[in-house]
Amino acid sequence: MEEIAIEQKKNRQLYRELFLNASKTFKELMESYRSDFSCTECGVCCKIRYSKLSPDDIVRLANEENDTTAKEYLKLFVPYESPLAHEYVDLILSKHDEPVYFYYCKHADDRINCEKSSICKDFPDSITTILPKQCSFRHWQQLIMYKISAEIEPDISKKVQEILDYRHQFKCNRTGTCCKLACSEFTYEELKQKASNNDNFAQQFTSIFIPYTDIEQARKVYPEYVDLVLSTLQGDDSGETANFYHCKHLQGTNTCPVYEDRPQICRDFPDNPFSIIPNSCGYHQWKDEVLVAAYTFYSMTQIYGFYFVKIKAAL
């Protein structure tokens, strides 16, 4: 188990590193597009600022945690004492279930002579800020949405497909490991139930795989993998269980007796390079070669997906 556990740990660290890099790169990209837009001085963000932080929270951050943004905020912004009638306020409230607090700048009525602080110059400090309808930075938000859906997403999908296509350069070594040992969080009964509810994967899976009745039989096939799965679940309070299966067709040799009619899940295995793939598997080299790129693209998908949803919610 040691070797496979070390590889998994190394891969988790690699993923974390690549995710942070991808996140940094995406933020830099968004910032670079921001410079195409500038404030048209409509003044709404001076008259109305919203925050999930209450006035007491801001005082505590400024005084007890020495937070520079909170200190700047205290110098300029004052909480509204009574509810505000303004379409920007209605927009913000319509997008929040939790409490939100409104503030105004002491200099909001005399903006020509105000000395803009960093919290003024940097507004909006996030692409996901809800902005007034007249704010020019809404065009920045719309541009990022466009870039994600029309350029970034198709480009990454193409690259992911190239990784998957590259898998065809490698051949199955006929070790039979993936036919003799499949693991699922679902019991056989649950998979059967899913199959009867038209779950395509469950239908294919239950058409060939049957459960091991004895975990020792599964362990004989790939002990490192079985032990890793079991030990991971032991230290995990998700309530997930591991169920091990083998193909009912494979007998004696590692030659598939239904090769021409085998289901798609067999043809596609391994369908991603993140799975645990034994060293003896003919696709292990594919995994080694593409893992960094695959983690990078997966991270990017997670990151731009997150921002796309958040910006859409803000608009």
Backbone angles phi, psi at 38, to 5 degrees: -140, 160
Task: Answer yes or no whether residue 6 interacts with ligand SF4 by CB under 6 A.
Answer: no
Interactions with ligand SF4, residue window 250-269 (CB under 6 A): 250, 256, 258, 262, 266, 269
d(CA 283, CA 267): 13
Question: Looking at beta carbons only, is 20 or 42 nearer to ligand SF4?
Answer: 42
Q: Which of 8, 10, 13, 42 is close enough to bind ligand SF4 by CB under 6 A?
A: 42
| DSSP summary character for residue 168 | G
With beta carbons less than 8 A apart as the criterion, state whether 105 and 8 touch. Answer: no
Amino acid at 149: S
Binding segment for ligand SF4 (CB under 6 A), chosen from 9-17, 34-42, 64-72, 294-302, is 34-42
76, 105, 208, 226: which one binds ligand SF4 (CB under 6 A): 208
Closest CB 140 distance from ligand SF4, rounded Å: 10
Q: Which stretch binds ligand SF4 (CB under 6 A): 39-47, 63-71, 211-219, 299-307?
A: 39-47
Segment 105-164, which members bind ligand SF4 (CB under 6 A)?
123, 132, 135-137
Minimum CB distance to ligand SF4 smaller for 245 or for 295: 245
Per-residue three-class SS string for 81-136: CCCCCCHHHHHHHHCCCCCCEEEEECCHHHHHHCCCCHHHHCCCCCCCCCCCCCCC
CB of 48 to ligand SF4, least distance (A): 9
Residue 190 Cβ vs ligand SF4, minimum distance, rounded to whole Å: 20
Q: How far is the CB of 51 from ligand SF4 (least distance, A)?
A: 15
Q: How far is the CB of 303 from ligand SF4 (least distance, A)?
A: 25
* Residue span binding ligand SF4 (CB under 6 A) among the ranges 55-63, 161-169, 244-252, 286-294: 244-252
List the beta bridge partners of residue 102: 50
CB atoms within 10 A of CB 138: 19
The encoded tokens of residue 115 equal 């000395």
SS3 call for 293? helix
Q: Which of 22, 178, 218, 303 binds ligand SF4 (CB under 6 A)?
A: 178
- Least distance from C-beta 88 to ligand SF4, angstroms? 9
Number of residues forming the site for ligand SF4 (CB under 6 A): 33
Looking at the Cβ atoms of 41 and 97, the one nearer to ligand SF4 is 41
Give CA–CA dist 208/256, Å, rounded.
11
Instruction: Pick from 58, 179, 226, 290 the residue near ligand SF4 by CB under 6 A.
Output: 179
272 contributes a contact to ligand SF4 by CB under 6 A: no
Helix axes 2-34, 284-314, angle to 10 degrees: 40
- Residue 241 as a binder of ligand SF4 (CB under 6 A): the answer is no
- Tell me how far apart the alpha carbons of residues 13 and 274 are, in angstroms, rounded to a whole number: 13
- With contact defined as beta carbons under 8 Å apart, do 71 and 117 qualify? no
CB neighbours (10 Å) of residue 205?
21
Let me know: does 228 contact 8? Beta carbons within 8 Å.
yes
Quick count: other Cβ atoms within 10 Å of Cβ 63? 12
191 interacts with ligand SF4 by CB under 6 A? no
Cα first-last separation, the chain: 50
Q: Which residues bind ligand SF4 (CB under 6 A)?
A: 39-45, 123, 132, 135-137, 172-179, 208, 247, 249-250, 256, 258, 262, 266, 269, 278, 281-283
